[in-house]
Amino acid sequence: MTAPPTGVTATRTPLAGWRDWRTWPGNIAALWRRSLRFRTIMVTLGLTAFTVIVACVWMALAIQNDLFVSRQTQVLRDAQRATAAAQLTLDSATAQSDSTQLQNVMSLVRGTLASQSASEINAAFRIGPPSSNAPQDFTSDLRFEEVLTEGLRDSVRANPDRQVWQSIALPTDDGTVVPGIVVGQQLSVPGVGPYELYLAYDLANAPQTLGFVQSTLWIVGIGLVLLISGIAWFVLRSVTTPIGEAADTSAKLAAGELGVRLPVRGEDELATLGRSFNAMADSIESQIKELADLSLVQQRFVSDVSHELRTPLTTIRLAADMINDRRDEFDPATARAAELLNNQVQRFETLLTDLLEISRYDAGSVQLELEPTSLAHLAEDVIASMEQLAQQHQTDVRLVAPGGYSPVEMDPRRVRRVVRNLLGNAIEHGEGRPIVITVDSDQQSVALGVRDYGLGMRAEDVDRVFDRFWRADPSRTRTIGGTGLGLSIALGDARLHGGQLAVWSELGRGTNFVLTLPRAPGRPVGPSPIPLDPGDDSIAAVDDLGLTQPIKVGSTDDGALRDAATRGGAP
């Protein structure tokens, strides 16, 4: 079983279906984020529609105003001409004192108004006190007098030489009203006095003309919006299609398909971009192949050297053990040299073992040997095996295990190696203070945390803690023979299980490593049941809570130890 790939893919998530209308807002939002073509067309459509609406509204208002003003000017001229003709008719008549003759003259005036004016509604009313010989008032429509306002009539009476007009609603025969203009002016009847003359003009054709113009404007505006949108879509398609191809090709290249290339057409800027991209892809492919070949050579070198050193190292190890076993027969200096030789040979053997393991990881040939294992019981075994080392450093190792007892598919040898490495580092750097090992679980994963209260590390050291052959403080002397590869191998073992190994550390507060493994191979690990940041805890706070006690492994059976860990007390 090989480790799962950890690279990040650059593929785009497909949209949900469009059949369910409830998915439309999410799909449209996703299209807005992902599609340059959709976003540009929508922006173009929106701005074009806004511009067309503003232009159409402005043109409609301008046409409406111009239409009314032109009609008003035409009406005033017509009324002025008709009134002048009527006054001329009155002035041409010989002054009469007989009422019948005056009435005949007024009839001539009505005929003149009808022939000289486009108005079909007119009326005349005497101004001043009643007179016996004055012609009678007349109106072509009895309803016309009702629509004349007092303000208009007062203005006509007060201005004998001025033309006055007003917009009114003219009644029709079917009971409806139509827009119109009434024009008022005085007529002077010789020998009788002034009369109010009103001419009404129907503007019913103006709204029809205006409606036709406005509908034409809106139809043209909508057609213009659709035409511009079609042109924008066509132009954008010719630009965004190569961009989409470049995006898909770069995503495939980022996913590891080094042989993909962009099709190059023509000699424009997009073609130049395609050639530059292909040249970059060629360079990247060449460099990656060179690095892969170099890495393969390095892996083979490390593996071959490690294997070749096995045979002489075994011989040296046997000789060193033989000499070390008889060091009591030597003088003190020779005995010390024999002891140092044996220790360094053991360290050399450990280094070779770690190098072989690293070379297997680099070559991708590591396989897991899975079997159901209780992480809590595994932690108890590791603590028991390292009890002597903890006593040498005068360190209490404490266990808190509220969970993690159910068997989980894992490689116990590799997980045990991870826990031994973390516990050994905690003992080494714990400054003799208690070390708390926490085991817990949830429905998705199991976790183990190793918390020490030593000096801790700086933030820049935390970022490099899993690097190979890196040590936070090279000047410190290790007492358990570390190789500098333990945490790197531990991280590889965690990832090989599909889990994770994380670290938290602060100067003066210590360090906390958390190993999280999935309950089943291939499942996502999810959030760790053990928090990485322990918060504002302290040794005194932990002791006051009574959650941890020194472990005494070997004096009790597994069941008693598990019960004690669950209760938080000593067995």
Q: What are the residues facing 500 on neighbouring strands?
A: 516
Structure confidence at residue 105 as a pLDDT band (50, 70, 90): confident
Looking at residue 364, its pLDDT comes to 65
For the domain bounded by 371-567, which CATH number is listed? 3.30.565.10
Domain 269-363 listed as CATH 1.10.287.130: yes
Torsion of CA 133, 139, 143, 148, to 10 degrees: -80
Rounded Cα–Cα distance for residues 26 and 194 (Å): 78
Q: Report pLDDT digits (tens) over 399-419.
A: 999 988 899 899 888 899 899
| Residue with the larger pLDDT of the pair 44 and 402 | 402
**What pLDDT does 379 receive?**
92
Contact 183, 198 (CB under 8 A): yes
Q: Which of 8-22, 35-49, 312-326 has the lowest mean pLDDT?
A: 8-22
- From the CB of residue 234, how many other CB atoms can be counted at a distance below 10 Å? 9
**CA distance readout (Å), 159 to 156, 185, 255, 351, 542:** 5, 8, 91, 119, 105
Look up residue 196 and give its two tokens.
């109010």
Coil, strand or helix at 333: helix
Of residues 428 and 31, the one with the higher pLDDT is 428
Summarize pLDDT for 479-510 with one digit per residue, the tens: 555 557 778 888 888 888 889 999 998 888 88
CATH superfamily of 20-257: PAS domain (3.30.450.20)
Distances (CA, A) of 124 to 27, 98, 106, 156, 195: 72, 20, 10, 12, 6
**C-alpha dist (Å) from residue 415 to 150, 249, 466, 493, 500:** 105, 40, 16, 7, 12
Rounded to an integer, the average pLDDT of 533-552 is 51
What CA–CA distance (Å, rounded) separates 228 from 449?
64
Q: Are 190 and 91 spatial neighbours (Cβ–Cβ below 8 Å)?
A: yes
The SS3 call for residue 78 is: helix
Cα separation of 123 and 125, whole Å? 7
pLDDT band at 565 (very low <50, low <70, confident <90, very high): very low
Query: Whole-model pTM?
Result: 0.47
Q: What is the pLDDT of residues 237-261, one digit of tens each?
A: 777 777 778 888 888 888 888 888 8
Choose the most confident range, by mean pLDDT, from 102-106, 165-169, 501-505: 501-505
Look at residue 337 and tell me whether its pLDDT is greater than 60: yes
For the chain, give every domain's residue range.
20-257, 269-363, 371-567
- Output the pLDDT for position 438: 93
